[in-house]
Chain A
Amino acid sequence: MSELLRIENISKRFGSFYANKNINLTVEEGEIHTLLGENGAGKSTLMNILVGLYQPTDGKIFLKGEEVHLHSPNDAVSKGIGMVHQHFMLVDAMTVFENIILGDTNAKEIVIDREKRRAQIQELAQRYGFRIDLDKYITEISVGEQQRVEILKALYRGAQLLILDEPTAALTDIEVEGLYDVMHKLVEEGKSIIFISHKMREVMHVSDRITILRAGEAVATVKKDEVSAQELAAMMIGRDLAASSFEKVISGGSAVAELDHVSYNRNSKHYGLNDISMKIRSGEIVGIAGVDGNGQTQLAQVLTGVIAPEEGTISLGDSKILVYDPNNFILRRTAHVPEDRNLQGLVGDMSIADNLVLRRVETDKFSSLGGAFLKKGAILSYAKEMVEKYDIRSRSASQTVRSLSGGNQQKVILAREMEAEPDLLVVAHPTRGLDIGATRFIRQQMIDARDRGVGILLISADFDEVLELSDRILVLFEGQIMGEFPGENPPVDEISLAMTGR
């Protein structure tokens, strides 16, 4: 086998942050090469460099021994690199055929020669054993078929190297099998595949070689046959375990929230919950460890009343919840720092002050005559107080929150939620995308809240964060709890293996 792609010392810097640092990687012809890494390990950045969306800060890319510069996606396509994105880039209102020829820059003719192209596509489909009706609309075909259309699209453009970004994320088990077949067929025909994943089972099943990325660096490249799943998990997640800077507690408090056999959308591995029972006590932080998209979103949302469980019950304090509605949960002293700050947490075009009082405008403190007259002065001075207390860096309290940095937006949410003096605080990805200063501040706030007796559910894709903050750790995988671990001296190896479903 000869080498198709070689990446030498590729680095990509955003500001002072290295998303990729000195990455070396080779892909042979006819090889399935897996990139394994957690969220934020730098997989996407590296792939975006390969498809010409990003320019590397440093380093070289060679295709078949020749150095190439990929200035645009078109460059990448013309040099035989094709990508199938996790979220498909298809036009729903068009047919399969139209999608495949859409934007094909090799075309020189003015009028599309449909017959010729159809024949070409059909020939391709036949060679790789795809059974696809070219005249169906995208909306009419299954997700698995859509993915095949994406692959076919890349092949039609002459791809030698296919990048599949978490291709199994949206597929059912049977479709995943079909995908494996397609992948094997592709490599038999001499194509190469870069397979991006963080699921141990499929990585062990399908790869020839595996490169592990961690915090922007390539930790190791190993042959599949020479490594065990356990070793891989350790490489992917494993790190010098710095002792947590926070003291862990074992809470003897009463349960502020209890889930009793809760299920939601049970058949979905990625967007459902399957028979979850757990307790959150006052004065403890329960961390949910797990790779993103294993039901974390749904867990946060059933616990804040955004969605209603299909089976099972939730109790807050002593009372069973009958009405699943965010307001009902808020009235029962539940606070929520949602995973998507801008979409779910804030009204971007309103001011800091307005967002701080979002839930309390009708209280006597902020309006008189039963809500008929807003005390704008009181709102503003309260906001100034909060800006001070929560260190929200802004020019004024009447600045729109949209114009704040992510860290300061998060502080606005945190201020609003903490000031409501909750019993239960549900926090999802609290420091995602934040700088070190804001991260530290927000973590300290959570610890302080715990020490005041708040029960906290922490959901985070950042494993370090879970280890750092949690007094108890639960691992969520495909909507199920895989195990419970202590927060004090957590057994990292066991937890990381549980996160990958073993």
Chain B
Amino acid sequence: MDNSRKNLVNIFVPVLSILLSILIGMIIMAFLKANPVTAVKYLVIGAFGTKQNLGTTLTRATPLIFTALCACFAYRCGVFNLGGEGQFIMGSIAACFVSLKFGLTGIPAVIVALVCGTVAGGLWGAIPGVLKITRGQNEMIISIMFNYIATLLMGVVYTNWLREGSVPQTAQVPKESQLARIVPGIRVTWGFVIAIVIGLLIYYFLFWTSLGFKFRAVGLNQTASRFNGYPVRRYMLSAFIISGAVAGLGGAGELMGTQFRLINGFASGYGFDGVAMALIGQLNPIATMFVALFFAALRTGSTTMQAATGVPTSVSDIIQALVIVFTVAGMALTQLPEFSTFIGRFFGRKEAQAV
């Protein structure tokens, strides 16, 4: 396939998947004796209808964008980092320590916390990376295991080291050290802007720099990259560290801008959500951000939908799951040779393949 046609398919499949999923979601709503059109209307209103709702959607999208970019970058470079959640948590733990224990306040506290969070996430990502390139360990399993370690470590932090009072949770990040809101009165903070900037940077790095070019080549064919003289293992480790750093920055931002304290359930599920979103976004950083936004909108809007029409929020979970299923199935379908032939016929010209 031509690159242009391939790109077309890459956009077409997720979009079609989303539409199909919403359609099935609406059928389920109808079975629940609700008016599907009304329900979807409230879903949209709940997500984007008012400034406050939009703010909530963007706030919820922010951590998802970070973990999705973490997965997206790693996969583009051929390392399967499933440890986004652990790296995210390590970032937030580091930020929590900085803001509560370092005696810094205000902007310096924010900056140092974000930097420390990034570093912590990067280091946490480096461990499975090092084990992979030096010992040949399976990075997927190691990085998943490190999610549990991070989660349990966070448990120690909020039940012991930084516990405040009788409830197992840490103290709150002081008001003056919190990430500022973009528009006063609306929840969304500069964390969202940072997420977008990171996404654009990743896109630029991957597709417009020579190093990004090489990272992608390694991601697509390690052997050929090695034969062509690339330091493949170094690149893979770097990819792990960078992707971990992105997640770590996200964790720090989430702590400083939205949650303000570590507590049981913090960041739960963000890691695998990110993986799914990166895959739906066809590993394109920009598309991935839109997917994260879409998922956040479904989650935010579903509350309003439930309140207004009685359709339970779990319908939105079903829609999210269906999007994943359809996209994965759709992409698998496009890999079939029959699909190429069909598309070729559809466009009225044969694949002019020289034999």
Interface residues of A (CB under 8 A from B): 15, 304, 306, 325-327, 329-331, 336, 338, 343-351, 354, 358-359, 361-362, 366-367, 371-374, 393-396, 398-400, 403-405, 407-408, 435
Contact = CB atoms under 8 A, between A and B. Distances in A.
Contacts of A404: 354
Interface string B105-120: 0000000000000000
B221 interface: yes
Contacts of A350: 216-217, 220
B208 A374 contact: yes
Given A372-B209, A403-B1, A15 B355 contact: yes
Nearest to A327: B229
Contacts of B214: 361
Contacts of A343: 221, 223-224
Contact of B3 (A362, A373, A399): A399
Q: Which 7 A-B pairs have the closest CB atoms?
A: A327-B229, A371-B210, A362-B210, A361-B210, A393-B354, A330-B229, A347-B221
B2 A358 contact: no
B209 A373 contact: yes
Nearest to A408: B354
B28 to A, nearest CB: 37
Nearest to B352: A395
Nearest to A336: B227
Interface string B206-242: 0111110110110011011111111100000000000
Given A347-B221, A403-B1, A374 B353 contact: no
A326 B2 contact: no
B224 A327 contact: no
Interface of B is mostly: helix
Nearest to B225: A347
B175 interface: no
A366 B210 contact: yes
B228 A358 contact: yes
22 contacts: A325-B229, A343-B221, A345-B224, A346-B224, A347-B220, A347-B224, A351-B3, A354-B213, A358-B224, A359-B229, A361-B214, A367-B210, A371-B210, A374-B207, A395-B2, A395-B352, A398-B2, A399-B3, A400-B6, A405-B354, A407-B354, A408-B354
Given A331-B229, A371-B209, A404-B354, 8 more contacts: A327-B229, A350-B216, A358-B217, A371-B210, A372-B209, A374-B210, A400-B6, A405-B353
Contacts of A348: 220-221
Contacts of A329: 229
A349 B354 CA distance: 18
Contacts of B217: 347, 350, 354, 358
Contact of A330 (B208, B220, B228, B231): B228
Interface of A is mostly: loop
Given A350-B217, A395-B2, A327 B208 contact: no
A331 B230 CA distance: 12
A398 B209 contact: no
Contacts of B231: 327
A359 B228 contact: yes
A339 to B, nearest CB: 11
Nearest to A370: B210
Given A344-B227, A345-B224, A435 B355 contact: yes
A367 B220 CA distance: 21
A304 B226 CA distance: 11
A373 B208 contact: yes
Contacts of A330: 228-229
A343 B225 CA distance: 10
Nearest to B340: A403
B227 A326 contact: yes
Contacts of B207: 374
Interface in B163-222: 207-211, 213-214, 216-217, 220-221
A266 B229 CA distance: 26
A351 B213 CA distance: 12
A400 B221 contact: no
B220 A344 contact: no
A426 B139 CA distance: 34
B229 A326 contact: yes
Contacts of B1: 400, 403
A362 B229 CA distance: 13
A373 B213 CA distance: 11
A408 B351 CA distance: 16
Given A15-B355, A343-B223, A344-B224, A396 B229 contact: no
Given A15-B355, A374-B209, A405-B355, A398 B228 contact: no
A338 to B, nearest CB: 6
Contacts of A344: 223-224, 227
* A348, A373, A403, A435, most chain B CB atoms within 10 A: A403
A338 B1 CA distance: 25
Given A351-B3, A361-B214, A345 B220 contact: no
A400 B213 CA distance: 15
A407 B230 CA distance: 25
A330 B227 CA distance: 10
A415 to B, nearest CB: 14
B225 to A, nearest CB: 7
A16 B209 CA distance: 46
A304 B220 contact: no
Contacts of B4: 398
Contacts of A346: 221, 224
A336 B227 CA distance: 8
A399 B2 contact: yes
B32 to A, nearest CB: 42
A331 B231 CA distance: 14
B3 A398 contact: yes
Contacts of B213: 354, 361, 374
A424 to B, nearest CB: 14
A371 B351 CA distance: 36
A90 to B, nearest CB: 23
B198 to A, nearest CB: 17
A322 B110 CA distance: 49
A238 B194 CA distance: 71
Given A344-B223, A361-B210, A403 B228 contact: no
Interface string B315-355: 00000000000000000000000000000000000011111
* A325, A326, A346, A395, most chain B CB atoms within 10 A: A326
A362 B217 CA distance: 14
B275 to A, nearest CB: 20
A126 B29 CA distance: 67
A344 B221 CA distance: 8
A418 B351 CA distance: 30
Interface in B1-15: 1-4, 6
A371 B353 contact: no
A398 B6 CA distance: 11
Contacts of B352: 395
A498 B221 CA distance: 38
A281 to B, nearest CB: 25
A37 B230 CA distance: 39
A306 B226 contact: yes
* A343, A358, A373, A405, most chain B CB atoms within 10 A: A358
B228 A326 contact: yes
